Amino acid sequence: MKNGVMLITYPDSLGRNLSDLEQVVSKYFSKAVTGIHVLPFFPSSGDRGFAPMTYRQIDSSFGDWADMKKLADDYDLMFDYMINHISTSSEYFQDFVDKGDDSQYKNLFIDFDKFWGSTPTEEQIGRIYKRKPLAPIRSIIFFDGTKRNIWFTFGDDQVDLNLETEEGLRFLDDNLRFLAEHGAAMVRLDAFAYTTKVKDTDCFFVEPKVWEILKRCADVLRAYDVGLLPEIHEHFSIQEKLARNGYPVYDFALPMLVLHALYFHEASYLSNWYEICPRNQFTTLDTHDGIGVVDVRGLLPDEEIEATKEHLCTYGANVKRIYNTAKYNNLDIYQINCTYYSALGEDDKAYLLARALQFFSPGTPQVYYVGMLAGRNDIQLLEETKEGRNINRHYYTLEEIEAEVQRPVVQQLIALMELRSTHPAFKGEFFQELVDKQHLILTWKTESESIELHADFQSYEFEIVEHI
Protein backbone atom coordinates (compact mmCIF):
# COMPACT_ATOMS: atom_id res chain seq x y z
CA MET A 1 0.00 0.00 0.00
CA LYS A 2 1.11 3.55 -0.72
CA ASN A 3 2.43 5.58 2.17
CA GLY A 4 -0.24 8.26 2.09
CA VAL A 5 -3.57 9.32 3.55
CA MET A 6 -6.46 6.87 3.35
CA LEU A 7 -10.01 8.20 3.17
CA ILE A 8 -12.75 6.34 5.08
CA THR A 9 -16.20 6.74 3.55
CA TYR A 10 -19.51 5.05 2.94
CA PRO A 11 -20.25 4.40 -0.73
CA ASP A 12 -23.15 6.88 -0.61
CA SER A 13 -21.84 9.64 1.66
CA LEU A 14 -19.78 11.70 -0.77
CA GLY A 15 -22.46 11.86 -3.40
CA ARG A 16 -25.02 9.15 -4.01
CA ASN A 17 -22.89 6.22 -5.16
CA LEU A 18 -19.46 4.89 -6.11
CA SER A 19 -19.39 6.85 -9.35
CA ASP A 20 -19.99 10.11 -7.47
CA LEU A 21 -17.35 9.11 -4.92
CA GLU A 22 -14.76 8.61 -7.65
CA GLN A 23 -15.60 12.00 -9.17
CA VAL A 24 -15.40 13.79 -5.81
CA VAL A 25 -12.04 12.32 -4.85
CA SER A 26 -10.58 12.89 -8.31
CA LYS A 27 -11.81 16.49 -8.45
CA TYR A 28 -10.90 17.71 -4.97
CA PHE A 29 -8.60 15.21 -3.26
CA SER A 30 -6.55 13.46 -5.94
CA LYS A 31 -3.21 14.55 -4.42
CA ALA A 32 -4.42 14.28 -0.84
CA VAL A 33 -5.65 10.69 -0.85
CA THR A 34 -3.78 7.56 -1.91
CA GLY A 35 -6.20 4.97 -0.54
CA ILE A 36 -9.90 4.61 0.23
CA HIS A 37 -11.54 2.44 2.85
CA VAL A 38 -14.95 1.93 1.27
CA LEU A 39 -17.26 1.03 4.14
CA PRO A 40 -19.61 -1.91 3.46
CA PHE A 41 -21.10 -1.70 -0.01
CA PHE A 42 -22.82 -5.08 -0.08
CA PRO A 43 -26.57 -5.72 0.06
CA SER A 44 -27.37 -5.33 3.76
CA SER A 45 -30.33 -5.46 6.12
CA GLY A 46 -29.12 -2.77 8.51
CA ASP A 47 -26.38 -1.14 10.58
CA ARG A 48 -25.37 1.03 7.62
CA GLY A 49 -24.02 -1.97 5.71
CA PHE A 50 -22.55 -3.96 8.60
CA ALA A 51 -25.28 -6.60 8.34
CA PRO A 52 -24.24 -8.02 4.92
CA MET A 53 -26.44 -10.52 3.11
CA THR A 54 -23.67 -11.55 0.69
CA TYR A 55 -20.17 -10.53 -0.34
CA ARG A 56 -20.68 -11.50 -3.97
CA GLN A 57 -22.65 -8.39 -4.96
CA ILE A 58 -22.50 -4.64 -4.65
CA ASP A 59 -25.78 -3.07 -3.60
CA SER A 60 -27.21 -1.86 -6.90
CA SER A 61 -27.96 1.58 -5.47
CA PHE A 62 -24.18 2.09 -5.07
CA GLY A 63 -23.13 0.78 -8.49
CA ASP A 64 -21.37 -2.38 -9.61
CA TRP A 65 -17.98 -4.06 -9.70
CA ALA A 66 -16.96 -1.98 -12.73
CA ASP A 67 -17.35 1.16 -10.60
CA MET A 68 -15.23 -0.42 -7.89
CA LYS A 69 -12.55 -1.38 -10.41
CA LYS A 70 -12.36 2.22 -11.59
CA LEU A 71 -11.61 3.27 -8.00
CA ALA A 72 -9.09 0.46 -7.60
CA ASP A 73 -7.20 1.61 -10.69
CA ASP A 74 -6.22 4.85 -8.93
CA TYR A 75 -6.40 4.14 -5.20
CA ASP A 76 -5.51 1.37 -2.77
CA LEU A 77 -8.86 0.04 -1.57
CA MET A 78 -9.74 -1.40 1.80
CA PHE A 79 -12.84 -3.60 2.04
CA ASP A 80 -14.68 -4.76 5.14
CA TYR A 81 -15.24 -8.39 5.95
CA MET A 82 -17.63 -8.86 8.86
CA ILE A 83 -15.87 -11.96 10.09
CA ASN A 84 -18.05 -12.39 13.18
CA HIS A 85 -21.53 -12.21 11.66
CA ILE A 86 -23.85 -12.02 8.69
CA SER A 87 -27.38 -10.78 8.12
CA THR A 88 -30.39 -12.80 9.24
CA SER A 89 -31.83 -11.88 5.83
CA SER A 90 -29.02 -13.77 4.06
CA GLU A 91 -29.90 -16.85 2.08
CA TYR A 92 -27.71 -18.85 4.47
CA PHE A 93 -29.61 -18.03 7.64
CA GLN A 94 -33.01 -18.09 5.96
CA ASP A 95 -32.31 -21.57 4.66
CA PHE A 96 -31.30 -22.64 8.16
CA VAL A 97 -34.56 -21.30 9.66
CA ASP A 98 -36.62 -22.91 6.87
CA LYS A 99 -34.97 -26.34 7.05
CA GLY A 100 -33.37 -26.62 10.47
CA ASP A 101 -30.89 -29.47 10.72
CA ASP A 102 -31.57 -30.41 7.10
CA SER A 103 -30.06 -27.10 5.95
CA GLN A 104 -26.69 -27.24 4.23
CA TYR A 105 -25.84 -24.07 6.18
CA LYS A 106 -26.73 -25.26 9.69
CA ASN A 107 -23.08 -25.41 10.73
CA LEU A 108 -22.52 -21.76 9.88
CA PHE A 109 -24.37 -20.72 13.04
CA ILE A 110 -24.05 -21.29 16.77
CA ASP A 111 -26.77 -22.89 18.86
CA PHE A 112 -26.17 -21.16 22.18
CA ASP A 113 -27.38 -24.00 24.41
CA LYS A 114 -25.55 -26.70 22.45
CA PHE A 115 -22.37 -24.62 22.67
CA TRP A 116 -22.43 -24.85 26.46
CA GLY A 117 -23.56 -28.47 26.50
CA SER A 118 -26.52 -27.49 28.68
CA THR A 119 -28.23 -24.33 29.83
CA PRO A 120 -25.36 -21.96 30.72
CA THR A 121 -25.13 -20.53 34.22
CA GLU A 122 -25.53 -16.83 35.01
CA GLU A 123 -21.83 -16.79 35.85
CA GLN A 124 -20.89 -18.20 32.42
CA ILE A 125 -23.10 -15.69 30.59
CA GLY A 126 -21.91 -12.84 32.78
CA ARG A 127 -18.31 -13.59 31.88
CA ILE A 128 -18.90 -13.11 28.14
CA TYR A 129 -17.44 -9.86 26.81
CA LYS A 130 -20.31 -7.88 25.36
CA ARG A 131 -21.26 -4.33 24.43
CA LYS A 132 -24.86 -4.55 25.63
CA PRO A 133 -26.26 -5.57 29.03
CA LEU A 134 -27.94 -8.72 27.70
CA ALA A 135 -26.99 -12.30 26.92
CA PRO A 136 -25.76 -12.49 23.29
CA ILE A 137 -28.71 -14.55 22.07
CA ARG A 138 -31.96 -14.40 20.10
CA SER A 139 -34.70 -16.96 20.39
CA ILE A 140 -35.40 -17.99 16.79
CA ILE A 141 -38.63 -19.75 15.75
CA PHE A 142 -37.90 -22.41 13.13
CA PHE A 143 -40.12 -23.79 10.35
CA ASP A 144 -41.57 -26.51 12.58
CA GLY A 145 -42.45 -24.13 15.41
CA THR A 146 -39.51 -25.07 17.60
CA LYS A 147 -37.39 -22.38 19.24
CA ARG A 148 -33.62 -22.26 19.52
CA ASN A 149 -31.33 -19.75 21.19
CA ILE A 150 -28.87 -18.63 18.53
CA TRP A 151 -25.72 -16.57 19.21
CA PHE A 152 -26.15 -12.88 18.39
CA THR A 153 -23.37 -10.60 19.64
CA PHE A 154 -24.61 -7.39 18.03
CA GLY A 155 -27.91 -6.32 16.44
CA ASP A 156 -30.99 -8.45 16.00
CA ASP A 157 -30.25 -8.86 12.30
CA GLN A 158 -26.55 -9.75 12.76
CA VAL A 159 -26.21 -13.45 13.49
CA ASP A 160 -22.81 -14.78 14.58
CA LEU A 161 -20.89 -17.18 12.37
CA ASN A 162 -19.33 -20.42 13.59
CA LEU A 163 -15.60 -20.61 12.87
CA GLU A 164 -15.27 -23.94 14.68
CA THR A 165 -16.73 -25.93 11.80
CA GLU A 166 -15.38 -26.88 8.40
CA GLU A 167 -18.34 -25.14 6.77
CA GLY A 168 -17.64 -21.94 8.70
CA LEU A 169 -13.96 -21.95 7.79
CA ARG A 170 -14.72 -22.68 4.14
CA PHE A 171 -17.18 -19.77 4.12
CA LEU A 172 -14.44 -17.54 5.53
CA ASP A 173 -11.85 -18.63 2.97
CA ASP A 174 -14.16 -18.33 -0.03
CA ASN A 175 -15.30 -14.81 0.82
CA LEU A 176 -11.81 -13.54 1.52
CA ARG A 177 -10.65 -14.90 -1.84
CA PHE A 178 -13.57 -13.23 -3.57
CA LEU A 179 -12.77 -9.82 -2.07
CA ALA A 180 -9.09 -10.22 -2.94
CA GLU A 181 -10.04 -11.02 -6.54
CA HIS A 182 -12.30 -7.97 -6.81
CA GLY A 183 -10.04 -5.04 -6.02
CA ALA A 184 -9.12 -5.18 -2.35
CA ALA A 185 -5.60 -4.07 -1.46
CA MET A 186 -6.40 -4.70 2.20
CA VAL A 187 -9.25 -6.40 4.04
CA ARG A 188 -10.45 -5.05 7.37
CA LEU A 189 -11.65 -7.80 9.70
CA ASP A 190 -14.58 -6.16 11.45
CA ALA A 191 -15.35 -7.27 15.04
CA PHE A 192 -12.49 -9.74 14.80
CA ALA A 193 -11.97 -10.39 18.53
CA TYR A 194 -15.54 -11.69 18.96
CA THR A 195 -14.89 -14.72 16.74
CA THR A 196 -13.20 -16.76 19.47
CA LYS A 197 -16.04 -18.51 21.27
CA VAL A 198 -14.48 -20.80 23.88
CA LYS A 199 -16.48 -22.25 26.79
CA ASP A 200 -15.83 -20.73 30.23
CA THR A 201 -13.92 -17.75 28.82
CA ASP A 202 -14.98 -14.19 28.00
CA CYS A 203 -15.18 -15.25 24.32
CA PHE A 204 -13.13 -12.21 23.31
CA PHE A 205 -9.64 -12.44 21.81
CA VAL A 206 -9.16 -15.90 23.29
CA GLU A 207 -5.64 -17.24 22.83
CA PRO A 208 -4.33 -19.32 21.11
CA LYS A 209 -7.52 -19.62 19.03
CA VAL A 210 -7.37 -15.98 17.93
CA TRP A 211 -3.92 -16.48 16.40
CA GLU A 212 -5.08 -19.53 14.47
CA ILE A 213 -7.95 -17.60 12.88
CA LEU A 214 -5.78 -14.59 12.11
CA LYS A 215 -3.09 -16.72 10.49
CA ARG A 216 -5.66 -18.48 8.37
CA CYS A 217 -6.97 -15.14 7.08
CA ALA A 218 -3.46 -13.84 6.44
CA ASP A 219 -2.47 -17.01 4.55
CA VAL A 220 -5.50 -16.78 2.26
CA LEU A 221 -4.90 -13.10 1.45
CA ARG A 222 -1.14 -13.40 1.12
CA ALA A 223 -1.59 -15.48 -2.02
CA TYR A 224 -3.14 -12.36 -3.60
CA ASP A 225 -0.66 -9.89 -2.09
CA VAL A 226 -3.53 -8.42 -0.07
CA GLY A 227 -3.03 -7.21 3.49
CA LEU A 228 -5.38 -7.53 6.45
CA LEU A 229 -6.24 -5.26 9.35
CA PRO A 230 -7.99 -6.73 12.40
CA GLU A 231 -10.41 -4.27 14.00
CA ILE A 232 -10.43 -4.47 17.79
CA HIS A 233 -11.62 -1.84 20.24
CA GLU A 234 -10.12 -2.68 23.61
CA HIS A 235 -7.11 -2.03 25.83
CA PHE A 236 -4.08 -0.83 23.85
CA SER A 237 -2.08 -3.87 25.01
CA ILE A 238 -4.01 -5.99 22.49
CA GLN A 239 -2.81 -3.74 19.65
CA GLU A 240 0.74 -4.03 20.99
CA LYS A 241 0.45 -7.82 21.04
CA LEU A 242 -0.85 -7.93 17.47
CA ALA A 243 1.97 -5.66 16.31
CA ARG A 244 4.60 -7.82 18.02
CA ASN A 245 3.24 -10.75 16.03
CA GLY A 246 3.71 -8.89 12.76
CA TYR A 247 0.18 -7.64 12.10
CA PRO A 248 -0.83 -4.06 11.34
CA VAL A 249 -3.11 -2.50 13.95
CA TYR A 250 -5.37 0.47 14.59
CA ASP A 251 -4.29 3.36 16.80
CA PHE A 252 -7.63 3.90 18.51
CA ALA A 253 -5.93 5.52 21.50
CA LEU A 254 -4.84 8.61 19.54
CA PRO A 255 -8.25 10.39 19.34
CA MET A 256 -8.72 10.69 23.10
CA LEU A 257 -5.05 11.45 23.73
CA VAL A 258 -5.13 14.32 21.24
CA LEU A 259 -8.39 15.65 22.70
CA HIS A 260 -6.90 15.57 26.19
CA ALA A 261 -3.72 17.33 25.04
CA LEU A 262 -5.68 20.08 23.31
CA TYR A 263 -8.33 20.50 25.99
CA PHE A 264 -5.88 20.80 28.88
CA HIS A 265 -2.79 22.16 27.06
CA GLU A 266 -0.78 19.19 28.24
CA ALA A 267 1.15 16.98 25.78
CA SER A 268 2.98 14.63 28.14
CA TYR A 269 0.50 11.74 27.91
CA LEU A 270 0.48 12.00 24.13
CA SER A 271 4.26 12.05 24.09
CA ASN A 272 4.40 8.95 26.28
CA TRP A 273 2.20 7.13 23.77
CA TYR A 274 4.49 8.11 20.92
CA GLU A 275 7.35 6.43 22.76
CA ILE A 276 5.65 3.03 22.89
CA CYS A 277 2.99 2.93 20.15
CA PRO A 278 3.31 0.37 17.34
CA ARG A 279 4.87 1.74 14.16
CA ASN A 280 2.94 -0.46 11.75
CA GLN A 281 -0.44 1.03 12.50
CA PHE A 282 -3.33 2.93 10.97
CA THR A 283 -4.05 6.15 12.82
CA THR A 284 -7.50 7.63 13.24
CA LEU A 285 -9.14 10.62 14.89
CA ASP A 286 -12.61 9.72 13.65
CA THR A 287 -14.36 6.73 12.10
CA HIS A 288 -17.93 5.62 11.37
CA ASP A 289 -18.18 4.71 15.06
CA GLY A 290 -17.82 6.92 18.10
CA ILE A 291 -14.66 8.26 19.73
CA GLY A 292 -13.20 5.30 21.64
CA VAL A 293 -12.78 5.46 25.40
CA VAL A 294 -11.81 1.91 26.33
CA ASP A 295 -8.79 2.08 24.00
CA VAL A 296 -7.07 4.73 26.11
CA ARG A 297 -7.37 3.03 29.50
CA GLY A 298 -3.92 2.83 31.04
CA LEU A 299 -2.55 5.62 28.84
CA LEU A 300 -4.58 8.28 30.59
CA PRO A 301 -5.40 8.01 34.30
CA ASP A 302 -9.08 7.31 34.93
CA GLU A 303 -9.61 10.80 36.31
CA GLU A 304 -8.13 12.33 33.15
CA ILE A 305 -10.38 10.18 30.97
CA GLU A 306 -13.42 11.35 32.90
CA ALA A 307 -12.23 14.97 32.71
CA THR A 308 -11.83 14.63 28.93
CA LYS A 309 -15.33 13.17 28.55
CA GLU A 310 -16.76 15.93 30.75
CA HIS A 311 -14.94 18.65 28.81
CA LEU A 312 -16.16 17.22 25.52
CA CYS A 313 -19.75 17.52 26.71
CA THR A 314 -19.26 21.16 27.75
CA TYR A 315 -16.73 22.47 25.22
CA GLY A 316 -17.85 20.38 22.23
CA ALA A 317 -20.43 21.84 19.87
CA ASN A 318 -23.97 20.41 20.07
CA VAL A 319 -22.97 17.48 22.24
CA LYS A 320 -25.40 16.09 24.82
CA ARG A 321 -24.94 13.14 27.15
CA ILE A 322 -28.35 11.80 26.14
CA TYR A 323 -27.01 11.09 22.62
CA ASN A 324 -25.03 8.26 24.18
CA THR A 325 -27.94 6.52 25.90
CA ALA A 326 -30.55 3.91 25.06
CA LYS A 327 -32.92 6.68 23.86
CA TYR A 328 -30.62 7.02 20.86
CA ASN A 329 -30.04 3.30 20.46
CA ASN A 330 -26.61 3.51 22.02
CA LEU A 331 -25.74 1.14 24.82
CA ASP A 332 -22.02 1.14 24.10
CA ILE A 333 -20.41 2.80 27.09
CA TYR A 334 -17.02 2.68 25.45
CA GLN A 335 -17.61 5.28 22.74
CA ILE A 336 -18.70 8.91 22.52
CA ASN A 337 -20.79 9.96 19.52
CA CYS A 338 -19.55 13.23 18.07
CA THR A 339 -17.69 14.51 15.02
CA TYR A 340 -14.10 15.37 15.78
CA TYR A 341 -14.52 18.93 14.55
CA SER A 342 -17.47 19.46 16.88
CA ALA A 343 -15.58 17.76 19.74
CA LEU A 344 -13.02 20.56 19.41
CA GLY A 345 -15.69 23.23 19.64
CA GLU A 346 -15.52 23.80 15.87
CA ASP A 347 -12.28 25.67 16.49
CA ASP A 348 -10.36 25.70 13.19
CA LYS A 349 -6.95 26.19 14.81
CA ALA A 350 -7.42 23.34 17.27
CA TYR A 351 -8.77 21.07 14.54
CA LEU A 352 -5.91 21.69 12.13
CA LEU A 353 -3.38 21.08 14.88
CA ALA A 354 -5.13 17.80 15.70
CA ARG A 355 -4.83 16.70 12.07
CA ALA A 356 -1.21 17.81 11.84
CA LEU A 357 -0.47 15.69 14.92
CA GLN A 358 -2.20 12.71 13.34
CA PHE A 359 -0.30 13.08 10.06
CA PHE A 360 3.01 13.27 11.90
CA SER A 361 2.18 10.29 14.13
CA PRO A 362 3.73 6.88 13.38
CA GLY A 363 1.61 4.91 10.95
CA THR A 364 -0.71 5.38 7.99
CA PRO A 365 -3.30 8.12 8.60
CA GLN A 366 -6.97 7.46 7.89
CA VAL A 367 -9.35 10.40 7.61
CA TYR A 368 -13.09 9.85 7.86
CA TYR A 369 -15.12 11.64 5.19
CA VAL A 370 -16.93 13.89 7.70
CA GLY A 371 -13.59 14.87 9.21
CA MET A 372 -12.13 15.53 5.76
CA LEU A 373 -14.79 18.22 5.34
CA ALA A 374 -14.46 19.46 8.95
CA GLY A 375 -18.03 18.33 9.43
CA ARG A 376 -20.28 19.42 12.26
CA ASN A 377 -22.61 17.21 14.28
CA ASP A 378 -25.64 16.28 12.19
CA ILE A 379 -28.38 16.82 14.78
CA GLN A 380 -31.15 16.58 12.17
CA LEU A 381 -30.12 13.09 11.05
CA LEU A 382 -29.62 12.07 14.67
CA GLU A 383 -33.12 13.13 15.67
CA GLU A 384 -34.75 11.68 12.55
CA THR A 385 -33.23 8.25 13.13
CA LYS A 386 -32.71 8.20 16.91
CA GLU A 387 -29.41 6.45 16.15
CA GLY A 388 -26.57 7.95 18.20
CA ARG A 389 -23.82 7.22 15.72
CA ASN A 390 -25.66 9.03 12.93
CA ILE A 391 -24.54 12.30 14.47
CA ASN A 392 -21.31 11.64 12.58
CA ARG A 393 -22.73 10.06 9.40
CA HIS A 394 -23.93 12.97 7.32
CA TYR A 395 -24.93 12.37 3.68
CA TYR A 396 -23.16 15.00 1.56
CA THR A 397 -24.62 16.01 -1.77
CA LEU A 398 -22.32 17.02 -4.60
CA GLU A 399 -23.52 20.61 -4.14
CA GLU A 400 -22.67 20.55 -0.43
CA ILE A 401 -19.21 19.17 -1.12
CA GLU A 402 -18.49 21.90 -3.66
CA ALA A 403 -19.35 24.49 -1.01
CA GLU A 404 -17.58 22.76 1.89
CA VAL A 405 -14.23 22.43 0.12
CA GLN A 406 -14.09 26.21 -0.23
CA ARG A 407 -13.99 26.73 3.54
CA PRO A 408 -10.50 27.85 4.66
CA VAL A 409 -10.25 25.09 7.26
CA VAL A 410 -10.93 22.43 4.61
CA GLN A 411 -8.48 24.03 2.16
CA GLN A 412 -5.79 23.98 4.84
CA LEU A 413 -6.62 20.41 5.74
CA ILE A 414 -6.32 19.34 2.10
CA ALA A 415 -2.88 20.97 1.98
CA LEU A 416 -1.83 19.01 5.09
CA MET A 417 -3.12 15.79 3.56
CA GLU A 418 -1.23 16.45 0.32
CA LEU A 419 1.93 17.07 2.31
CA ARG A 420 1.53 13.79 4.22
CA SER A 421 0.79 11.83 1.04
CA THR A 422 3.70 13.19 -1.00
CA HIS A 423 6.63 14.16 1.23
CA PRO A 424 9.42 11.55 1.06
CA ALA A 425 10.59 12.15 4.64
CA PHE A 426 7.56 10.22 5.93
CA LYS A 427 9.23 7.06 4.59
CA GLY A 428 12.02 7.57 7.13
CA GLU A 429 12.33 7.31 10.91
CA PHE A 430 10.15 8.98 13.52
CA PHE A 431 11.48 11.04 16.42
CA GLN A 432 9.83 13.18 19.04
CA GLU A 433 10.91 15.75 21.61
CA LEU A 434 8.71 16.98 24.45
CA VAL A 435 10.17 20.43 24.96
CA ASP A 436 7.80 21.05 27.87
CA LYS A 437 4.21 20.09 28.62
CA GLN A 438 2.88 22.61 26.13
CA HIS A 439 5.36 22.14 23.29
CA LEU A 440 6.09 19.04 21.24
CA ILE A 441 8.31 18.48 18.20
CA LEU A 442 7.62 15.53 15.88
CA THR A 443 10.23 14.70 13.24
CA TRP A 444 10.46 12.38 10.26
CA LYS A 445 13.92 11.89 8.82
CA THR A 446 15.63 10.06 5.99
CA GLU A 447 19.31 10.19 5.09
CA SER A 448 18.73 13.14 2.77
CA GLU A 449 15.83 15.13 4.24
CA SER A 450 13.59 15.69 7.20
CA ILE A 451 10.34 17.37 8.17
CA GLU A 452 9.34 18.64 11.60
CA LEU A 453 6.09 19.61 13.29
CA HIS A 454 6.47 22.17 16.08
CA ALA A 455 3.22 22.13 18.07
CA ASP A 456 2.09 24.61 20.71
CA PHE A 457 -0.73 23.14 22.81
CA GLN A 458 -1.46 26.42 24.55
CA SER A 459 -2.06 28.61 21.52
CA TYR A 460 -2.82 25.82 18.98
CA GLU A 461 -0.22 27.35 16.70
CA PHE A 462 2.04 24.99 14.77
CA GLU A 463 4.87 25.24 12.29
CA ILE A 464 6.12 22.72 9.75
CA VAL A 465 9.84 22.93 9.01
CA GLU A 466 11.52 21.10 6.14
CA HIS A 467 15.26 20.36 5.84
CA ILE A 468 16.94 19.13 2.66
Give me the pLDDT at residue 61, please. 98
> What whole-number distance in Å separates Cα of residue 439 and Cα of residue 459?
10
Task: Identify the three-state secondary structure at position 436.
Answer: strand
Sequence-ordered list of residues with C-beta below 8 angstroms from that of 217, at least 6 positions apart, any chain = 83, 172, 176, 187, 189, 228
pLDDT at 192 > cutoff 80: yes
DSSP class per residue in 197-217: --TTS-SSS-TTHHHHHHHHH
| Whole-angstrom distance, CA of residue 308 vs CA of residue 263 | 7
pLDDT digits (tens, 9 = 90+) for 300-316: 999 999 999 999 988 87
Within 8 A by CB and 6+ apart from 117, the residues are 199
Q: Are residues 416 and 333 part of one domain?
A: yes
- 451 occurs within a structural domain: no
438, part of any domain: no
CA distance 393 to 287: 9
| Residue in 231, 251, 378, 387 annotated catalytic | 231
The end-to-end CA distance of the chain, in Å, is 26
Judgement on whether residues 43 and 142 belong to the same structural domain of the protein: no
Domain end residue (candidates: 138, 160, 182): 160
Instruction: Quick: pLDDT tens for 13-50.
Output: 999 999 999 999 999 999 999 999 999 999 999 999 99
Same-domain pairing of 145 and 182:
no
Q: Write down the pLDDT at residue 249.
A: 98
Q: Pick from 427, 446, 463: which residue ends a domain? A: 427
The verdict on 417 and 311 lying in the same domain is: yes
443 inside domain: no
- CATH assignment of the domain containing 124: 3.90.400.10
Rounded Cα gap, residues 180 and 185, in angstroms? 7
Domain endpoint, select from 137, 160, 183 = 160
Using CA of residue 330, residue 333, residue 337, residue 342, what is the dihedral sign?
Answer: positive
Q: What is the pLDDT of residue 165?
A: 97
Marked catalytic residue, from 12, 167, 190, 286: 190
Between CA 432 and CA 279 the distance in angstroms is: 13
- Let me know if residue 448 belongs to a domain: no
Q: Does any domain span residue 440?
A: no
Same domain for 276 and 377? Answer: yes
Domain that holds residue 201: 6-82+163-427
Q: Is residue 327 part of a domain?
A: yes
Specify whether 336 is located in the same domain as 311: yes
**Domain match, 247 and 101 both:** no
Separation CA 99–CA 261 (nearest Å): 57
User: Exposure string (b/e) for 312-340, b if CB count within 10 Å is 16 or more?
Assistant: bbebbeebbeebbeeebebebeebbbbbb
Q: Which amino acid is at 295?
A: D
Same domain, 189 and 224: yes
% pLDDT > 90, the chain: 90
Neighbours of 445 (CB within 10 A): 16
445 found inside a domain: no
Looking at the domain assignment, is residue 455 inside a domain?
A: no
Alpha carbons 409 and 88: distance in angstroms, whole number: 43
369 with 282, same domain: the answer is: yes
Same-domain pairing of 77 and 110: no
Q: What is the mean pLDDT of residues 419-435?
A: 97
Give residue-wise pLDDT tens across range 322-381. 666 667 666 555 788 999 999 999 999 999 999 999 999 999 999 999 999 999 999 999
Q: What does the pLDDT average to over 275-285? A: 97
Is 433 designated active site? no
The DSSP string of 339-356 is -HHHHTTT-HHHHHHHHH
Residues 148, 214, single domain; the answer is no
pLDDT > 70 fraction of the chain, expressed in percent and rounded: 98
| 429 in catalytic set | no
- 312 and 263 fall within a common domain: yes
Q: What is the CATH number of the domain that holds 325?
A: 3.20.20.80
How many domains are contained in the chain?
2
